[in-house]
Amino acid sequence: MTTITRFAPSPTGNLHVGNIRTALHNWMLARKSGGRFVLRIDDTDAARSREEFVEAIRADLAWLGLAADGEERQSERLALYQSAFDALLDSGRIYPAYETAQELELKRKIQLGRGLPPIYDRAALQLSDADRAAKEAEGVAPHWRFKLDHDEPIEWDDGVRGKQKFDPAQLSDPVIRRADGSWLYMLPSAVDDLDMGVTQVLRGEDHVTNTAVQIQMFTALIAAQYPAAKIPAFAHEALLVGKEGKLSKRLGSLGCDSFRERDIEPEAIVALLARLGTSQPVEPIADRQVLVDTFDLSTFGRAPAKFDDTELDRLNAAIVHQMDYEAVRHRLPEGMDEAGWHAVRPNLSHVSEAGNWWKLVTGPIEQPEFSSEDRAFLSQAADLLEWGDDPWRSLTAALKEASGRKGKPLFLPLRQALTGMDHGPDMGELLPLIGEEEARARLCRAAA
């Protein structure tokens, strides 16, 4: 059976790092088995959903290299939800309830005060036809709940958490439709998973209780309307926390826009999030196929996964050091060729820093003040400078013999005179880029 996974964001805001991790893992799960990864836009909340966020979600996934094999929008599937609703209503699995939000909150407080779990008491099931007619005559529109079957425990083998078991009597019958007719998450999601043939649902552990409820929905829907469908397998991964080990509001706002502003490579984000929370080492792996081939739900741990900006920066620098010229040429300063990129690349943490290092070649540079001894040494360097295949090695060899200097006293004044800095790219690669005429001019200026 073909593996089909889905990523189902609501277009009520931009993707954050937790969403990105979920999308990535579903993409990898599908790619590993040659399956399909589907983007489902959960836009049934018309009041909060915005088209600009739909476009942003698509753009972010494209930037990350997480191409979807198909896209669905819940706003275009409302007839399916209505049909499923009608079928469940006919089979007695849906019932109307008339409590206000205030009434429900009061019930919860009373139950908590008595030491009871704050679950819905199913009072609406006790209403007679006359009671319901009276409510509607008063203008009270019902919301609709899915009736859980209390006779059998809910069980599944979770891909991350192992054996799971819930007592449905300890769960509230979930509201699936508001009084205004709009849909909540539960039923449309279950309908879509069955209708789209989703085989694997991989999401955060905050959905574990939702899964328990939806497993009964799947069973009811299969019996009422989707006889050929199968309940998907489930896996719930630990949520991300900050490096301090606490849930962080910042993680809820940290998304692709902030990564792009920091010039973080998408390959670095993928390398970090692919293995964050698993027993596998987080490494600067730029080859997606390696990450896909080693993706394994059995390596996922139950402990919260710690997201650390410092680790992301470390990975980013290592990824940049692997990047070929062709991959970055459109992002480099004017005039920087492959030799220039190769020279400055080891000194970069971000590609955007290449421009600062390239100024060592294009100038102007600001030289430090030199001692009289160093000025004489640099004057000697200007005289001994000869151009060839390796001008730096030729120059330092000649100067070592002529001046008797070696080590730091030999190399540091030359670097300072030629670049204005105490450190930087390999001078053997940098000097040919500076060129003979400019290099001699800098040495003479430093010696003056």
- Annotated binding-site residues for ATP read 249
Asked if residues 80 and 191 have their Cβ atoms less than 8 Å apart, the reply is yes
Give the residue ranges of the annotated binding site. 249
Q: Using CA atoms of 307, 308, 312, 315 in order, give the dihedral in degrees to the nearest 10.
A: -100
d(CA 272, CA 312): 7
d(CA 385, CA 436): 8
Name the token pair of 402: 């002529």
Side chain identity at residue 116, one-letter code: L
H or E element at residue 96: strand 94-97
Residue 367 phi, psi dihedral angles, 5° rounding: -90, 150
Is the link from the previous residue into 364 a cis peptide, with omega within 30 of 0?
Answer: yes
Asked if residues 277 and 237 have their Cβ atoms less than 8 Å apart, the reply is yes
Q: Is 393 helix (H, G, I), strand (E, B) or coil?
A: helix
Cα→Cα distances 149→53, 92, 185, 360, 392, Å: 38, 11, 20, 73, 81
Asked if residues 49 and 8 have their Cβ atoms less than 8 Å apart, the reply is no
Q: How many CB atoms lie within 10 A of CB 202?
A: 23
Closest to 291 measured CA to CA, from 35, 29, 23: 29
